[in-house]
Amino acid sequence: MRALIAMAIVVAVFAGRVEGQVRPPPARGGQPQRPDPADTIPVPQFRVDPPVSPVGAALRSFVLPGWGQSVLGRRGAGAAFVLWEGVTLTMVVKSAQQLDYQESIGAETVEAKRQELQDWLVLLGFNHLLSAAEAFVAAQLWDFPGDLAIRTVPGGGVATGLTLRF
């Protein structure tokens, strides 16, 4: 905790404005000065739009987990969400049937079975939310280069690398 406080003090003391971040003073009349177009360099945009908007991908995956991932070409992630959806739906049906049976015979474990059913329903809802969030982020990062690697290095360390092609 002391190290965190010391780090915050050091950052607060030594962090000043960088010269490029200082806004120019307003010109006469109160309007800020506009940069000269001859001094600006146009930056090309390399963004490739995803096949579906991030909100569209999230809504698709919220309705049916894995659908948004499938549209974005993330078939592995989509398959994982579909698989978990199948497991949770199966367990919801199984727990509901067991709860009905236990209620019909008057078993003492009805409350425990009801809690189990609620737990599976929560996991089912969480799968929908997580799938929607993952599809939203995947659509946002649609044009991000995928050559990111994590490797072990001699001596037990871990290194990351990103390959960029020009």
How many Cβ atoms from other residues are within 10 Å of residue 152's Cβ? 9
Q: Is 10 left (phi over 0), alpha (psi -120 to 50) or beta?
A: alpha
Q: Is the pLDDT of residue 22 over 60?
A: no
pLDDT tier, 67 (very low <50, low <70, confident <90, very high otherwise): very high
Among the residue ranges 8-12, 47-51, 60-64, 108-112, the one predicted with the least confidence is 8-12
Mean of all residue pLDDT scores within the chain: 82
Q: How far apart, in whole angstroms, are the C-alpha atoms of residue 43 and residue 62?
A: 36
CB atoms within 10 A of CB 138: 23
Q: Please, are residues 123 and 88 in contact by the beta-carbon 8 Å criterion?
A: yes
How do the domains of the chain map onto residue ranges?
54-140
Of residues 151 and 102, the one with the higher pLDDT is: 102
CB 52 within 8 A of CB 61: no
Flag whether pLDDT at 73 surpasses 70. Answer: yes
Phi, psi torsion values for 92, nearest 5 degrees: -65, -45
